[in-house]
Amino acid sequence: MEDVPQPEPGPGQVLLRVHACGVCRTDLHIVDGDLTKPKLPLIPGHQIVATVQALGEGAERFEVGQRVGVPWLGWVDGTCRYCRTDRENLCINARFTGYDIDGGYAEATIADERFCFPIPEGYPDLQAAPLLCAGLIGYRSLRLCGEHAERVGFYGFGSSAHIICQVAAHQGREVYALTRPGDAAGQRFALDVGATWAGDTEGGSEVCEPGEGGPPEPLDAAIIFAPVGGLVPPALRAVAPGGAVVSAGIHMSDIPSFPYEILWGERIVRSVANLTRRDGEEFMSIAPQVPVRSQVNEYPLERANEALDDLRAGRFRGAAVLTIRQ
């Protein structure tokens, strides 16, 4: 913990009084050095729920006192070929909250007003924070599975998966949740939030009829939430021809080699990179309709390192959120 000067909002920026900030696995990858080019020194955190305290020159999108959320994508140039073709998530000069820009593990922060979202009414700060990355990235991952993917496998069942499982069930999809072997509590948690079946990545299940090396039904798509490259081959084997395996993480361990036959049949392996403002607007309108409810483990700001350690060790279900006393 350090005392640092309060930031001043520049043109188009807002000064935010932070109430809560979600703890994301990407924060862990930054702190652990897996993502190697953060600005230093750095204040992490990119699932920020805050109220607008002051407006920079020209900022007019929000009013002082309005509650907003700040996600991972914090700035784009608006001129590169990706931005010009509605793919701002791939902007070559993008800046990211809690990586290139100081984030929300703090009492105050600043943000570009264009990359803030109004928080839907009815969501307390703690419930809203995980929506801003776990929810948004999960939503983009689900969308990249394809609208015709009726049976979707979730490999890893943490913060993002438990939110998007609710969305998928609301859309009429069947979710097949795969946890670490022996994680009966995680499997029951998946069933509680809408999964059709829950087992482990080796095909066993302590709460459902086990599959034979994987889910009991062929999948139309799979999302890999765990940062484990070794899950890609079994996910490919579980996916039917024409299906997609979507990696939802910004970092993953190396993918082992696999035979071409499990890719053949027009199967797809793809990653998800960041998010767009359109993703945020769509998800924030869908979440209250479901309604999405996030299971939250609360930590005060001064216990941020403990929250990261608990995330690393898998000591909680759902999401971790830091609360900031003012």
pLDDT at 203: 73
Q: Is residue 288 part of a domain?
A: no
Asked whether residue 22 carries a pLDDT value surpassing 90, the answer given is: yes
Find the CATH number of the domain harbouring 112. Answer: 3.90.180.10
Q: Which residue has the higher pLDDT, 244 or 214?
A: 244
Q: In terms of domains, do 140 and 263 share one?
A: yes
**Per-residue confidence band for 40, with pLDDT thresholds at 50, 70 and 90:** very high
DSSP state of 5: P
Q: Is residue 285 part of a domain?
A: no
User: Domain residues for 226?
Assistant: 135-271
Q: In terms of domains, do 157 and 258 share one?
A: yes
**Per-residue confidence band for 91, with pLDDT thresholds at 50, 70 and 90:** very high
Q: What is the distance between the terminal CA atoms of the chain, rounded to a whole angstrom?
A: 15
If we measure between CA atoms, which residue out of 233, 177, 232 comes closest to residue 207?
A: 177
Q: In terms of domains, do 174 and 49 share one?
A: no
pLDDT at 213: 67
Average pLDDT rounded to a whole number, residues 79-93: 97
Q: In terms of domains, do 35 and 106 share one?
A: yes
Find the CATH number of the domain harbouring 177. Answer: 3.40.50.720
Q: H or E element: which one contains 307? A: helix 304-313
pLDDT at 210: 67
Q: In terms of domains, do 249 and 300 share one?
A: no
Q: In terms of domains, do 155 and 262 share one?
A: yes
pLDDT at 226: 93
pLDDT at 211: 64
Q: Which two tokens stand for residue 65?
A: 């006192």
**Residue 74: burial class (beta carbons within 10 Å; 0-12, 13-18, 19+):** buried
Average pLDDT rounded to a whole number, residues 257-275: 96
Asked whether residue 81 carries a pLDDT value surpassing 90, the answer given is: yes
Judge whether 44 and 141 are in contact, CB under 8 Å: no
Distance CA 136, CA 262 (A): 30
Q: In terms of domains, do 257 and 303 share one?
A: no
Sheet-wide strand order for 268-271: 197-200, 174-179, 151-155, 219-224, 239-247, 268-271
Q: H or E element: which one contains 16? A: strand 13-23
Cα distances from 262 to residues 153, 204, 243, in angstroms, run 16, 21, 11
Distance CA 175, CA 160 (A): 14
Question: Which position has the token pair 């009966």?
Answer: 184
Cα distances from 297 to residues 25, 183, 306, 311, in angstroms, run 14, 19, 12, 10
Q: In terms of domains, do 216 and 235 share one?
A: yes
pTM, full prediction: 0.91
pLDDT at 208: 81
Q: In terms of domains, do 122 and 148 share one?
A: no
Q: Is residue 281 part of a domain?
A: no
pLDDT at 207: 75
**What share of the chain has pLDDT > 70, as a percent?**
99
- For the chain, how many structural domains are there in total? 2
**Mean of the per-residue pLDDT values of the chain:** 94
pLDDT at 15: 98
Q: Is residue 105 part of a domain?
A: yes
Q: Is residue 174 part of a domain?
A: yes
Average pLDDT rounded to a whole number, residues 96-120: 97
Q: In terms of domains, do 74 and 126 share one?
A: yes
Cα distances from 292 to residues 126, 169, 175, 187, in angstroms, run 13, 11, 15, 19
AA letter at 192: D
Asked whether residue 5 carries a pLDDT value surpassing 70, the answer given is: yes
User: Could you read off the pLDDT of 280-314 as tens digits, one per residue?
Assistant: 999 999 999 999 999 999 999 999 999 999 999 98
What radius of gyration, in Å, describes the C-alpha atoms of the chain? 19
**What share of the chain has pLDDT > 90, as a percent?**
89
User: Could you read off the pLDDT of 179-215 as tens digits, one per residue?
Assistant: 988 889 999 999 999 999 999 888 777 778 766 667 9
Q: Is residue 176 part of a domain?
A: yes
pLDDT at 204: 75
DSSP E strands: which ranges in 46-122?
Answer: 48-55, 67-70, 73-75, 95-96, 108-112, 117-118
